[in-house]
Structure 1
Amino acid sequence: MSLKTQLTEDMKAAMKSGEKDRLGVVRLILAAIKQKEVDERVEMTDPLVLAVLEKMVKQRKDSISQYEAAGREDLAAVERYELGVLEAYLPAKMAEAEIQAAIDAAKAETHAAGPADIGKLMGVLKPRLAGKADMGLVSQLVKKSLAG
């Protein structure tokens, strides 16, 4: 079952069970997916849906930090709930050791040697690790790997 189909089924289940908060979040996700389909005229595959979910997760994390800085715990709590629902649809994140192994394999494959090759290495890693790893962490590890 595709991720988009799973979201639609979860929306129906939330409607039947009366989970209004969860229903609202799932509808937000589906709306973002539909918006991307319309804007880019593409059929949403699982990797594209994951990209939308990751963007939404990043937005929620940013909002939480902003709300906490402003002392709005009530709004931060709403964002935390939405973040929990969003993260449930993302695959389990890779451990740092697994990411490093993927970096080492890609380094050998691309013959990346120094900081000038960061772009080349990230270009290979991004499609492989999208949705499976925090790309900020991947970037840090790549820089560290190529610097030393």
Structure 2
Amino acid sequence: MGLLERLNDDMKQAMKNKEKEKLSVIRMVKAALQNEAIKLGKTLSEDEELTVLARELKQRKDSLQEFENAGRSDLVDKTKEEIHILQLYMPKQLSEEELAEIIQQTIAEVGASSKADMGKVMGAIMPKVKGKADGSLVNKLVQQYLA
């Protein structure tokens, strides 16, 4: 089942169960997917759908940080709920150990030896872990291994 089909099914279920927050998040994701499809002028591939989902998730995480810094507990709770709902549609996240293994393999593949090779390593790793790992965590681990 494709992401849009899953979203439509979950949207119907959320309406029946009167889950306003879930319904709102699903509608927002569907709108973001439709906007991206219009912008690209074609139906989105699974990879492109994943990119849109990851972008929405990242926006929520950034907002969460800002709300916490501002002491807005009302918005913090709402944003945490949105993040939780969005994560239901993301692929299973890699553990730090699995990620470390991929990073070490990639460093060996590209022959990286210093922090100067950081861009080369990140460019090779990100397509492999797209949607399965947070970019900032990947960046932090790559820096550790290249130090």
| TM-score, with structure 2 as normaliser | 0.90
Question: What code does the residue aligned with 1:40 have?
Answer: L
State the one-letter code of the partner of 2:116: A
Q: Within 2, Cα distance between the matches of 1:142 and 1:76?
A: 30
4+ residue stretches of structure 1 with deviation over 6 A?
none
Other structure's SS at 1:92 match: coil
What's the % identity of the aligned pairs? 39
Structure 1 length normalisation: TM-score? 0.90
In the alignment of these two chains, the number of paired residues is: 147
- Residue identity in the other structure for 1:46: E
Larger deviation, residues 111-120 vs 98-107: 111-120
Please name the residue that 1:54 is paired with. 54
Other-structure match for 1:114: 114
Gaps of 5+ in 1: none
Q: Is the 8 A contact 1:118 1:143 kept in 2?
A: yes
1:69 to partner: Cα distance:
2.4
Whether 1:78 aligns to 2:78 is: yes
CA contact (8 A) 1:53 1:90 kept: yes
In the alignment, what sits opposite 1:138? Answer: 138
Contact 1:103 1:125 (8 Å CA) reproduced: yes
Residue aligned with 1:133, SS: coil
Q: Please identify, of 65-74 and 116-125, the stretch whose mean Cα deviation from structure 2 is larger.
A: 65-74
Q: CA 1:105/1:8 → structure 2, altered by over 3 Å: closer, same or farther?
A: same
Aligned match of 1:126? 126
1:11 paired to 2:11: yes
- Kindly state the Cα deviation for residue 131 of structure 1 after the two structures are TM-superposed: 0.9
Q: Report the residue type matching 1:139 in the other structure.
A: N
Q: Is the 8 A contact 1:50 1:90 kept in 2?
A: yes
RMSD: 1.5
Structure 2, gaps ≥5 residues long: none
